[in-house]
Amino acid sequence: MATRDFLLEIGTEELPSRFVPPALEQLRDEMAAALGSWRLEFGSIRATGTPRRLVLLVEGLAEKQPDRRVEVQGPPKQACFDAEGRPTKALEGFAKAQGVDVAQVTFAETEKGIRATIAVDEPGRPAAEVLAEILPRVALCPNFPKTMRWAHRKVRYGRPIRWLVALLGSEVVPFAIEDIHSGRVSRGHRFLGQEAVEIPSADAYRQTMREQYVMVDHDERREAIRAQVLAAANQAGGVPMHLEEVLEENLYLVEWPTAFTGRFSEEFLSLPHVVPTTVMRKHQKYFPVATAEGELLPCFVAVRNGGVEHIEEVIRGNQIVVHGRLRDAVFFFRNDLDRTLADRAKDLERVVFIHGLGSLAEKTRRVEALTLSVARALGLDGADAEHARRAAELCKVDLTTNLVIEFTSLQGILGGVYAARGGESPAVAAAIGEHYRPASADDELPATAAGCALSIADKMDTVAGVLSIGEAPTGTADPHGVRRRLQGIAAMVLRKSLPLDIMGLAREALAHYGCQDTAVEGQLADLLRQRAEAVLELHGIGMDLRDAALGVEWGRLGQALAVARAVQALDTEDPEVLTAAWRAATRPANIVSKRESDSIEIAASLFESESEGALLESVGRMETVADVFDRRVVKAFLEERPRTIESQALIALRSLALEAPVVDGFFDEVMVMAEDPKVRANRLAMLYRAHLAVTRIADLHALRRD
């Protein structure tokens, strides 16, 4: 079948850079779904764009739908013939409408009974005709974080739509969004290109736009920016910092990138380096430059949306801006150092934490208590516990400083700097500096035990407070970052294999707010479970294995990731052994729900077969396996060797697999649900103990096995 390339360009006012990637993804998915549902075959779909245009390029699009034969349904059979068996007007009318003789009508069973049917050959519609129908919906499909209306139009979009280009090969596909009609006229670069640019065909689009100083393909633009930035930084005697992060920020800010180097006074290097680098990369979208050893240099690389014309003026203007921001930072920093964090602590009484949850001073006292609880659970004592407590006492004070008020993204980090400058111990300063970590799914975890304890306590206090006042996250909103905080807690517990009863800590946090509502506790547990699943999924753990690893008591959450990895390894290396362990766990798990009590008392005098005695011995071995695993998990944490938990889990799983023949023998020989209630309860108690022992490692029953 003949094919042509198709182009859709949605021209807009400059979109915020963060709007573009998700919009492109949604456009691509919507177009693929629409073409599939309308039976238009295609080779590939490429979504790309710039701040001013969202573009879809479909390669190898069929020029028409394939022909097909369809069954057209008519009246029910009983309405097709009269009492003498002659065709009725209904049948004759149906046949005439389809252009066939009555004799060609057949009857078939349908959802509505037996009905008259006619097989009709339906020719495929031209692609241009189909596209004209689907493009309005495709073009408007992006769900932008914020939308706007403009002029007299009712449609909403991320920014005003100014033009539309739709070409199938060289043919214009006509469609409209209100009074904005598609055509072949695009626009070049706002300053370097032409106002109106005629696109001859879809396959000539990229080259035509390049001639108008628009680098449409974002991958090409990304590589151009990377090469220019690396060259400029190298010429300045260094390397760009945060290259990939800042590159992505710039990618959708420019259509024709030109990198240049600017400088600032060396006096600003007296600031903590995180301050000028934050000013440059977060506020100005510049690339800070450092030596190969990581020492910050007094220069930066920026990317201009344009060519080299008047570049000296551009450099001078950017240097003036960064100089002003850094001059303010120096002023704030010096003023902040006039008082230590300890001196400022009383200022927290005047700062509201969250409306309805008191002041930051009250939060600090709650976090201090929770931090000590976490520290005890993690085995911190003496000086280590005191460092964690002191860090909790001072961790929010930097929120009252001028520099953090100006640069809020530096909260915590500057707190650590100010703590060190104010004479606090390095351990306290480090814990304060890292207690907001992890701030996202790919962020680093706190490196110190004190920082980890403080981070967990701080996040749990916020979550408990928000839920206690009924402001839980919804499907569309999470203004207090409850999910993000719980994911941070789950990441620390799972990745560091922390021996922490996280729901015990949650209950303590809720109690600080006077909340004893079991519904709120259940809500918190559900949210935490979801976030723990998300962390495991990020580590490549499948759904059934996530259920197995998390099917333990909350106090064992820290072992879940290591156990899941052990199960994965065993499934690869020796799947028959894993199946045996699963069988040893599953057969007891399937029946323990029928027990009439939680008793685990077993009377050997009630045994009626040798298999019962064998099972009792097997249960003892399972409990020993679980006991040994528990001790080795704690030992691995204390020795800071969490990866060894995986090897210990493998040993435990192999040991459980050895009990499968005993469990099978018991079920083959014994009727568990005996008529005698004492015998029945005795057998259920043995199986319940086996189930309890296994689920101290993982709920293997949740695994899917053939």
Domains in the chain: boundaries: 3-65+126-210, 68-122, 226-336, 342-538, 563-702
Q: What span, in angstroms and rounded, lies between the C-alpha atoms of 430 and 384?
A: 12
Would you call 330 exposed, middle or buried from its count of C-beta atoms within 10 A (0-12, 13-18, 19+)?
A: middle
Tell me, what's the pLDDT at 704?
A: 87
Q: What span, in angstroms and rounded, lies between the C-alpha atoms of 230 and 289?
A: 10
Give the predicted TM-score (pTM) of the model: 0.82
Encoding tokens for residue 563?
A: 């156990």
111: DSSP letter:
T
SS3 502: helix
Encoding tokens for residue 192?
A: 């370097």
Q: What span, in angstroms and rounded, lies between the C-alpha atoms of 3 and 43?
A: 9
Tell me, what's the pLDDT at 147?
A: 96
Encoding tokens for residue 562?
A: 């290591």
Q: What span, in angstroms and rounded, lies between the C-alpha atoms of 476 and 380?
A: 40
Pairs from 607-615 (Cβ < 8 Å, separation ≥ 24): 607/682, 608/670, 608/679, 609/669, 609/670, 611/662, 611/665, 611/666, 611/668, 611/669, 611/670, 612/666, 612/670, 612/683, 612/686, 614/662, 614/665, 614/666, 615/662, 615/663, 615/666, 615/686, 615/690
The number of residues making up the chain comes to: 706
Q: How many CB atoms lie within 10 A of CB 60?
A: 13
Tell me, what's the pLDDT at 92?
A: 82
Q: What span, in angstroms and rounded, lies between the C-alpha atoms of 53 and 212?
A: 14
Domain 3-65+126-210 has CATH 1.10.3470: no
Tell me, what's the pLDDT at 706?
A: 67
Q: Which CATH number fits domain 342-538: 1.10.150, 3.30.1300, 1.10.3210, 3.20.20?
A: 1.10.3210
- Across the 706 residues of the chain, what is the mean pLDDT of every consecutive 10-residue run? 94 97 97 95 96 97 88 86 86 84 83 84 89 96 95 94 97 96 97 95 97 97 98 96 95 98 95 94 95 95 96 96 95 95 95 94 97 94 94 97 93 96 96 96 93 98 96 90 96 93 96 95 96 95 93 92 94 94 92 77 89 93 94 84 89 95 92 88 91 93 84
CB 206 within 8 A of CB 165: no
Q: What span, in angstroms and rounded, lies between the C-alpha atoms of 94 and 82?
A: 15
